Structure 1
Amino acid sequence: MSRRGTAEEKTAKSDPIYRNRLVNMLVNRILKHGKKSLAYQIIYRAVKKIQQKTETNPLSVLRQAIHGVTPGIAVKQDV
């Protein structure tokens, strides 16, 4: 038996502008050399372009895009 306690699950924080956890998770995925401010600039520019071109809520478009690329079935490998 381990003497250490179990690790608590960390919840993702929300981003400062849209208050959305999905945006913050995406920023953490595209971090380049630890430059989080650069990653935020990239995401916010992309969201602004989505807003201008589609004239809809850019967060719903982002959510649909993420949902479209995630696999529907989890694949397990036998080792």
Structure 2
Amino acid sequence: MTIMSAREFNRDVSAAKRAAGDAPVVITDRGEPAFVLLSIEEYRRIGERGIDLVERLSMDDDLDIEFEPVRIELQAPEL
């Protein structure tokens, strides 16, 4: 993902378009994310098909993330 300021975007729109061909481009306004520039293919993939929440949150199978949940014991307070 590429991040560029609104000033950088206005100065070089072509660079933003090239970067959006590879991954979404976040455009910031006063240092805060304000807009996202996507290729039409990416927009269609996430928007027009109506991808469900599970698919949006799913991760690529080639990612190897270790996760060890911690078991906690909770007790209700006595009244």
TM-score with structure 2 setting the length: 0.27
Higher strand share: 2
Higher relative contact order (CA closer than 8 Å, sequence separation 6+): 2
Higher helix share: 1
TM-score with structure 1 setting the length: 0.27
